[in-house]
A and B are shown apart, each in its own frame.
Chain A
Amino acid sequence: MLSDLVIRLRSIFRGRSVEKDLNDELRFHFDHLVEKYVGAGLSREEALRRARLEFGGFDQVKEDCWQAQGSALVTTFVQDVRYSLRVLAKSPGFTLIALFTLALGIGANATIFSIVDAVLLRPLPYKDAGRLVVVWQHLPQERVPAFDTYREFEEWSRNSHSFEELAAATWARNAEAMLSWRGEKHEVLAMPVSANFFSMLGVQAAMGRTFESSDLKYPCTVVLAHQFLQQHPAGPSGWVGKSLTLNSAGCTVIGVMPRNFSFYPRQTEMWTLITPDSQFHQKPWDMPIGVFGRLKPGVSREAAQAELAGLENRIIDESPEFAAMKLEPYVLDLQSEFTWLTGRNLRRGLILLFAVVVFVLLIACVNVANLLLGRAIVRQKELGIRAAIGAGRSRLVRQLLTESAVLSLGGTCLGIVLAVVSVHIIGTKEATQLPPGNPIAVNWEVLLLAAALAVVTSLLFGVVPAWRASSVDLNEVLKQSALTASRGSRSHRTSRILVVVEMVLSLVVLAAASLLIESMVRLVNAPLGYRRDHLLTAEIHLPPGAYPKPEDHTRFRDRVELTLESLPGVKGVAFAPGLATLPGAGPVTVEGAASASPAASAAGPEPVSTDYFHVLGISLLQGRIFSNQDRSGSLPVAIVNESFAKEFFPKGCAVGQRIKFGTPDGKNPWLTIVGIAGDVSYPTLYMGYAQRPTVYRSSFEQTEISVLLRLRSDALLRQSTATFPYLSSRRLTSRSLPLWPSRAFAPSYSGSLQHWPWCLQRSEFMACFRTLSPRESAKSGYVWHWAQKEVIFLA
């Protein structure tokens, strides 16, 4: 067996010397044969003739010996490959085009597959990832996921039997913290988590350790994400054991997570421990929190969900307000939830994209097949001669297929290079938002796919041209002195069929692409009820208790307004509630009606400043807008939108009517409707854009304020870089109030429309998390286009 292998291998690697040996051996025999005849008295010529006759075809014997050695198959393959390389090198134009076409197709497939593999196929890189789940809640009527409360987390982890472990983590509210570092203050994304968060995921710290229950007795401990280290180098001794100031409290760094660890949201820079003293533990327990858990083996998500719903009743007994909400817990697979959170259409989008690149590869194959077919006509003569000296049709097909395989192998190698480059770009430049978990990489699975693609493509584009080309009519070919089109017509027919196939494939891709563009255009141009051009917003966060008296608050806003209005290029300034404090929806009573409308609820009262409608360009349909007199609050007035008027006053004549939030006997004041404004479309997390009944009020005592600026032109938008730091540092922060953004006003548009803020609305609160472009991350300032259709980041 071993000698067999040695002989075969030797015949491959020492092809030439083996052939010489065989020649020598046969020549030796032949010479002796001639000698023998000469010795028997024949003339030399006669002896040679006899010997040749007896010996038969030299080449035939050699061929038989090759066969006997079993090396024929391998040898001819090596020969074919060599020959292919020579032929391909002779026509570099064709070879380059074919290689490039194939590289594009295979590279695109490998790239998209590496994303699909990381996002959809490979399990999350946590312990027993298949059993990891997330618990959300939703209202029975609208299946909109909402965070849980810490109270629920406690109750569930204490009493549920469906889970091996439950951990809590939240990115709603308070997820941003002010970090003081080297004399500067900036925002970081710090995610509060329960002590067992890391141990439940089964992950270890790269340096130091993760949280333990013993840490609960310290006021503040944090674990840093790897990306925090890159932005905040700690020096030779490292971060572990150091302390940092977070929201003006001292925190101890106990560990740093490895580079490849990520959780949702990926931009998280550190994790803080939820301690018994924190707000999460205090009534009214409305701190939103996500509950993550690992199911016990064999427990279904449905069973766990039913158990949690049962436990929920206990909490409901404790708090009647809670009971009113009638929230139901539901349990979802963690990985698909990550994908969904990252992009509502990410999963579908990836599958679609994969389908498109497969089509692109098919088109590439058809193209190369056509090129090969064209070459086959040119190579008729060459193939004809090969056939004439004894190559059978199968031998010719094999030769041509080897050529295709060489091409496709080259294309695949180039394609893999292309994929590695694109994966690197996607991974580092964050060209698209990808869910946390597995980093995308060209791993062996991707390479396997590429290899499979190489084989399939070489057959796809090689078989038809090879079959066509190998059907050589010897007489015809050898008779021809120059190329004629006699046989070309047949090739042309095949070529035409291939072109038709290509057209069909291209059409499919084109249709998909144009549909995508169409929906994009629609999304961008959707009428929103306000003018988005030249509109900027920034947020001001006032420390609680900064302006206890309403007059002070008004004065503060007036000052901001005056400062901003005096800037060149600013057309108007208005205020709206900060995103984090947008009021939720609640029942509304119409004066004269017996009870609060049971089904309909309205958003609001949404406090806005006098110029709000002007600055946003919201049209006034009836009545008037707010005036400065309304601010004094002598007569509580409200402006409602069209949806509200239609829903609550179907017969018209809403202006002049009085409404009240809550029940008729509630303490809220009666509001007189003075005007009806046009509807504004809000982006919603789950239903695209929607208009909802809204009530606007002119009173304004918020601690989180959105400042809205209408600029005169985009040029000013770019120029205003210098003005905002000036504002923030000198005028507005006279009482050391952080005005966010605190940085230069150089808006860069985030191209993606997927970056919706993560807002969860419950009847009494709305928690918002700003999904920042990872590149910008929470550290840089940001501004929102109003209604968050696009997020504009400050550099």
Chain B
Amino acid sequence: MERLDLPQGTLDLLILRTVSLGPQHGWAISERIQQISNDVLQVQQGSLYPALHRLERRGWIKARWGASEKNRRAKYYELTKAGQKQLASEQDAWEKLTVAVAQVLRAV
């Protein structure tokens, strides 16, 4: 299947959504996004990690170090309270946007 580049600003939403399912490390986040989207969405490391650090700085996610499945030291990110609110509002905005865009495209 053809791979798509992520539209501007959607990466944050995807990360927040992915992390909301439970603490994840960066690798797992990128893999999960890829899997769920059936390989359509591919997250580049070059944008994933700066995004994670940016979200951490804004206080939407927080990081802690833990052991991975293979017992390696890994940095796990989880959603904060502020992050939950942010996710809800971004998700809401995204849905409204897609509906609106679809309506416009469908109109004759």
A28-B72 in contact given A61-B46, A61-B50 (Cβ < 8 Å): yes
Q: Provide the B24-43 mask, 1 if CB < 8 A to any CB of A, else 0.
A: 01110011000000000000
Query: Is A64 interfacial (CB-CB < 8 Å)?
Result: yes
Of A3, A25, A31, which contacts B57 at CB under 8 A?
A: A3
Question: Is B50 in contact with A28, judged by CB distance below 8 angstroms?
Answer: no
A67 close to B45 (CB less than 8 A): no
* Known contacts A28-B26, A28-B27; A56/B50 CB under 8 A: no
A65 at interface, CB cutoff 8 A: yes
Nearest-neighbour CB distance to chain A for B69, whole angstroms, equals 10
In the bound complex, how far is the Cα of B45 from the Cα of A54, in angstroms? Answer: 8
Query: Does B74 make an interface contact (CB < 8 A)?
Result: yes
* Residues of B close to A70: CB separation below 8 A: 57
Interface size on B (CB < 8 Å)? 24
- Residues 51-81 of chain A, each 1 if its beta carbon lies under 8 Å from chain B, else 0: 0001110001100110111100000000000
Min distance, Cβ A51 to any Cβ of chain B, angstroms = 10
State which of A3, A29, A54, A55 has its C-beta within 8 Å of the C-beta of B26: A29
Q: Does A4 contact B (CB under 8 A)?
A: yes
User: How many Å lie between the Cα of A28 and that of B57 in the bound state?
Assistant: 21
- Given A65-B50, A69-B53, A69-B57, A25 contacting B45 (CB threshold 8 A): no
Contact A56 B27, beta carbon cutoff 8 Å: no
* Bound complex: CA A168 to CA B46 (Å): 83
Kindly state the separation between the CA atoms of A2 and B59 in the bound complex, as whole angstroms: 9
B72 and chain A: residue at smallest CB distance: A28
* Count of residues in A whose CB is under 8 Å from the partner chain: 26
For B8-32 the 0/1 string (1 means CB < 8 A from A) is 0000000000000000011100110
Chain B contact residues, majority secondary structure: helix
Given contacts A26-B45, A55-B45, A64-B46, contact A7 B57 (CB under 8 A): yes
Establish whether residues A65 and B75, one from each chain, have CB atoms under 8 Å apart when the complex forms. Answer: no
Q: With A and B bound together, what is the CA distance between A223 and B56 in angstroms?
A: 70
Complex Cα distance, B54 from A466, in Å, reads 33
Q: Is the CB of A61 within 8 A of B49?
A: yes
**How many contacts A-B (CB < 8 Å)?**
70
Give B26's nearest chain A residue, CB to CB. Answer: A29
CA distance A260 to B30 in the complex (A): 73
| Cα of A64 to Cα of B49 in the assembled complex, Å | 8
Greatest chain B CB density within 10 A among A1, A28, A31, A56 is at A28
Tell whether A56 pairs with B45 under 8 Å between CB atoms, given A61-B50, A68-B50. yes
Q: Which residue of A lies closest to B58 (CB)?
A: A4
Tell whether, in the assembled complex, residue B44 and residue A56 are in contact, meaning their CB atoms are under 8 Å apart.
yes
Q: Which residue of A lies closest to B74 (CB)?
A: A28
Q: Within 8 Å of chain B (Cβ to Cβ): is A32?
A: yes
When chains A and B are docked, how far (Å) is the Cα of A24 from the Cα of B68?
A: 13
> Once the chains are docked, how many angstroms separate the CA of A720 from the CA of B37?
111
Of all chain A residues, the one with the shortest Cβ separation from B65 is A21
Contact across chains for A28 and B25 when beta carbons are under 8 A apart? yes
When distances are taken between beta carbons in the complex, the residues of chain A under 8 Å from B65 are 21
A3 touches B62 (CB 8 A): yes
Residues of B within 8 A of A7 (CB): 56-57
User: Would A28 and B68 count as touching, CB distance under 8 A?
Assistant: yes
Complex-state Cα separation, A102 to B79, whole angstroms: 53
Question: Min CB distance, A47 to chain B, in Å?
Answer: 15
CB neighbours of A29 from chain B (8 A): 26-27, 30, 45, 49
Determine if A24 and B45 form an interchain contact, defined as CB atoms under 8 angstroms apart.
no
Q: Pick the contact of A65: B27, B49, B68, B73 (CB < 8 A).
A: B49
Residues of B within 8 A of A3 (CB): 56-57, 59, 62
Q: List the A residue with the shortest CB-CB distance to B29.
A: A29
Residues of B within 8 A of A65 (CB): 49-50, 53
CA A405 – CA B58 in complex, angstroms? 32
User: What residues of A have a CB within 8 angstroms of the CB of B54 in the complex?
Assistant: 68-69
CA distance A28 to B29 in the complex (A): 13
For A124-143 the 0/1 string (1 means CB < 8 A from B) is 00000000000000000000
Please, which residues of chain A bring their CB within 8 A of the CB of B59?
A: 1-4
A-B residue pairs in contact (CB < 8 Å), sample of 23: A3-B62, A7-B56, A7-B57, A21-B65, A25-B26, A25-B49, A25-B74, A25-B75, A28-B27, A28-B68, A28-B73, A28-B75, A29-B26, A33-B27, A54-B45, A56-B44, A56-B45, A64-B49, A65-B49, A65-B50, A68-B53, A68-B57, A70-B57
Beyond the given A24-B73, A56-B44, please list 4 additional residue pairs across the A-B interface where CB-CB is below 8 A.
A28-B25, A29-B26, A61-B45, A68-B53
